[in-house]
Structure 1
Amino acid sequence: MSRPHWHFVTGKLAADSLANLLKELAPQANFDYSLQVLPVKVAALMTADWVAPRLELSANVTHLMLPGRCRGSLSTLEEQLKIPVVRGPGDYRDLPEYFGKKSERLKHYGPYDIEILAEINHAASWTIPEILKQAKRWRAEGANLIDVGCDPGVTWAGVGEVVQALRDDGHRVSVDSLNPQEIELATQAGAELVLSVNSSNREFAQDWEVEVVAIPDSPEDWKSLEETVDYLETKKILHRIDPILEPIGFGFAESLIRYQKARKQWPETDIMMGIGNLSELSEVDSSGVNFLLLGICQEWQIDSILTTEVINWARSSVKECDIARRMVYYAIHHQNLPKHLTAELLLLRDAKQRELSTEEINKLAEQITDKNFRLFLSQGLLYVINSEMNLSHEDPFELFEQVLKKTKVTIDAGHAFYLGYEMAKAVTARTLGKSYSQDQALTWGFLTEEEQSFLEKKRQEKIEQRAIKKQKKRPL
């Protein structure tokens, strides 16, 4: 199979540096390439429509990459050229991470060996359609089992119906209860795992004929855990062990050590960690907490985790755990740091904050001959530049007032909204240490929602309107 041939387009200022980078990168990433330098100093001045008639592509080109700051719709180019057309990263120095050096490592990234149980808390208060909808989302996000959480102190007669509905929808199911009656209903309906058994209900476990999770009578009571495990081993009941993770302030560190103790004491037995006591009961974003706990689980060979998504700051824990388990598996099995694998868990800050320098922005402003607004963020200042102005200010409201005074064209409501929207993105990027690029979404890891630029939307609307007019003119 022939190697892909990438055709790169750039401006004069970046040409030499990009050529040197590609000379080193292409052999490592296994692609051929060609580089075309267009008659403009800075790539940010380009638009897709301006680039199109100036392209010089050989017949063996398989992919076209335009600069990340090139504006306009790429769909027309793709239709004309019949090859994929993409924007590169906002900074050409990120090309190795885009596909080069990173690609070799990613060939081995993805496997995992930690199972995720996602618990539907207080499941009795949910309707079956609600439960099935939630379970479907969690399965797509990486959950291996759906855990049906029951409420203590009452017997839920409908648990079997819920388990059956989940099983009919293709889910693997566990039940979270100490109540033997509830457990019996759930296992009869197809639950394959019981959370949990201790001295209060272990004598019923043999009747259920499914795997169970052994827990201590209280988190610090190690002897009770040993007795329950001994009982299950004697009765030859399939089981895994959960020593119980405690919240910070209530014995977290000691409880964590008990997991290591359990692995040493029962080296051949599966262990499960319920991580909700930390992710749900610590008022911090859950992604870092989940990643750290999954790292501990991987190192200590803890085979499964139970997570929840009750409180808002933990609302995406299942997906976070799915990403984390793949990262830590790679790190440990390949003896590499869990870096430069994926940015999916960088939900707040970016891996790198890329921005043009003040000097680069001023040079760019000198080259602009049109009145289209270009927005930049550099060294804490917001910039608006076009052929009429080169303005900057740290306050977006003050900057907009300067724009209104300086511009010779009328700014309609749509453009005013557009400028305000882009300035709000820039301020957000400045606040959080993120990269800002006009007409492109800020990155929020796996939560990123790509956005279509204002100009692309307007262009698409005009294309659709022309198509409608042509359709109306056709004779019946």
Structure 2
Amino acid sequence: VPAVVIPYDSRRNFFARTVKDKLRLLQGNIESAFKYGLKKLIADPVLEPINLSGSTGTFQSLMAYHMFKQKGLQMPMMMGLCNVAELIDVDSIGVNVLLTMLAAEIGVSSILVVEESAKTLGSTTEAKIAAQMATLARERETPPKDLGLNLLILKDKRRVESKINLNDTTIIEAAEEVKEYPQDPIGFFTINVNHKDGKIEVLYRGRKGRILIKGKTASSIYREILERKLLSTLSHALYLGIELGKAEEALITGKSYVQEEGLFKPVRPIEISK
């Protein structure tokens, strides 16, 4: 079993942060490991989080990885991504892909990811696919695009729009205001997305009692509702279709689902006063 060596001095409880300290401590710890008879070693200079107020940070630690590789020790390196991914409020997929690609450029052999928080769930899959993309790009000697494999989840490389024939068509601009409709006399539904079980849960309450319907797709749940005749109005059916569609998207993307609220909100810059 290989041992991972990091730039840490246990006697002083000191973690190296600068490039110079990382390389010095890492080299010393590697020599100590060899003295104790450890033969299989993996070096990890430790990737630091983004630091915009000091001399240490992600860029500096990437330099430490690069400079260690330049020593030519023929020792595999490992890079943990969680220090960066967990400490920035950005979707993990972009962070994990970019860091994995940079690790591949440097010559890192293995990647460590941790799915500690909700925003980093799926990081293992993201990093694995990114590593596969890096491998394909290296073999083909091309940038990591048009590989037959990608991590475009919320955006597409090209927009595909369906053309609609509008000949002899009356065009109506739909009103944006919310209109209230009478409650369905048969009953109503409460919808929840259970990410742990990977299912959409729909609780019916009404004339036919209390019924919990579970499923992985909106269509499977909708069919069950129709077969059991748990709704009776067109407006309720349309409402339920919209909400179940949102719930399925939340299940796929890992987003939180709140009934009657949108999944995605536009992001806008703020005014920062100096």
TM-score (norm. length: structure 2): 0.58
Cα distance, 1:217 vs structure 2: 4.3
RMSD of the TM alignment (CA)? 3.4
Give the conservation status (yes or no) of the 8 Å contact 2:49–2:57.
yes
Q: Decide which of 230, 239, 251 is 1:417's aligned counterpart.
A: 239
Q: Does 1:231 align with 2:39?
A: no
In structure 1, the partner of 2:87 is 281
Provide closer, same or farther for how the CA distance between residues 287 and 420 of structure 1 changes in structure 2, counting only shifts above 3 A: closer
Rounded to whole Å, the distance in 2 between the matches of 1:335 and 1:420 is 45
Q: Which amino acid aligns with 1:362?
A: L
Give the conservation status (yes or no) of the 8 Å contact 1:232–1:238.
no
Q: What are the Cα deviations for residues 235-256 of structure 1, in whole angstroms up to 9, with x where unaligned?
A: 4521011111111114221111
Rounded to whole Å, the distance in 1 between the matches of 2:108 and 2:141 is 18
Unaligned runs of 5+ residues in structure 1 are: 1-191, 202-215, 367-388, 401-409, 426-440, 449-476
SS in 2 for 1:393: coil
Provide closer, same or farther for how the CA distance between residues 299 and 414 of structure 1 changes in structure 2, counting only shifts above 3 A: same
Q: Does 1:337 align with 2:143?
A: yes
SS in 2 for 1:392: coil
Rounded to whole Å, the distance in 2 between the matches of 1:292 and 1:218 is 24
Q: Which amino acid aligns with 2:16?
A: S
Provide closer, same or farther for how the CA distance between residues 239 and 394 of structure 1 changes in structure 2, counting only shifts above 3 A: farther
Q: Decide which of 32, 40, 46 is 1:244's aligned counterpart.
A: 46
Between the aligned residues of both structures, percent identity stands at 25
Cα distance, 1:395 vs structure 2: 2.8
Rounded to whole Å, the distance in 1 between the matches of 2:3 and 2:162 is 57
Rounded to whole Å, the distance in 2 between the matches of 1:341 and 1:443 is 28
Cα distance, 1:199 vs structure 2: 4.5
| Larger fraction in helix | 1
Q: Decide which of 176, 200, 203 is 1:395's aligned counterpart.
A: 176
Q: Which amino acid aligns with 1:348?
A: L
Give the conservation status (yes or no) of the 8 Å contact 1:271–1:304.
yes
Rounded to whole Å, the distance in 2 between the matches of 1:282 and 1:318 is 17
Unaligned runs of 5+ residues in structure 2 are: 182-231, 255-274
Q: Which amino acid aligns with 1:275?
A: L
Cα distance, 1:394 vs structure 2: 7.2
Provide closer, same or farther for how the CA distance between residues 336 and 443 of structure 1 changes in structure 2, counting only shifts above 3 A: farther
In structure 2, the partner of 1:219 is 17
Rounded to whole Å, the distance in 2 between the matches of 1:281 and 1:218 is 19
SS in 1 for 2:125: helix
Q: Decide which of 302, 319, 323 is 2:108's aligned counterpart.
A: 302
Provide closer, same or farther for how the CA distance between residues 334 and 200 of structure 1 changes in structure 2, counting only shifts above 3 A: same
Give the conservation status (yes or no) of the 8 Å contact 2:85–2:120.
yes
Rounded to whole Å, the distance in 2 between the matches of 1:308 and 1:248 is 17
Please list every run of at least 4 consecutive aligned residues from structure 1 whose deviation after the TM superposition is greater than 6 angstroms.
Answer: 441-444
Rounded to whole Å, the distance in 2 between the matches of 1:342 and 1:311 is 30
Give the conservation status (yes or no) of the 8 Å contact 2:92–2:123.
yes
Q: How does 1:184-223 map to 2 (within 5 A)?
A: 192-196=1-5, 198-200=8-10, 217-220=15-18, 221=21, 222-223=23-24
Rounded to whole Å, the distance in 2 between the matches of 1:346 and 1:334 is 20
Give the conservation status (yes or no) of the 8 Å contact 1:309–1:315.
yes
In structure 1, the partner of 2:66 is 260
Q: Which amino acid aligns with 1:223?
A: R
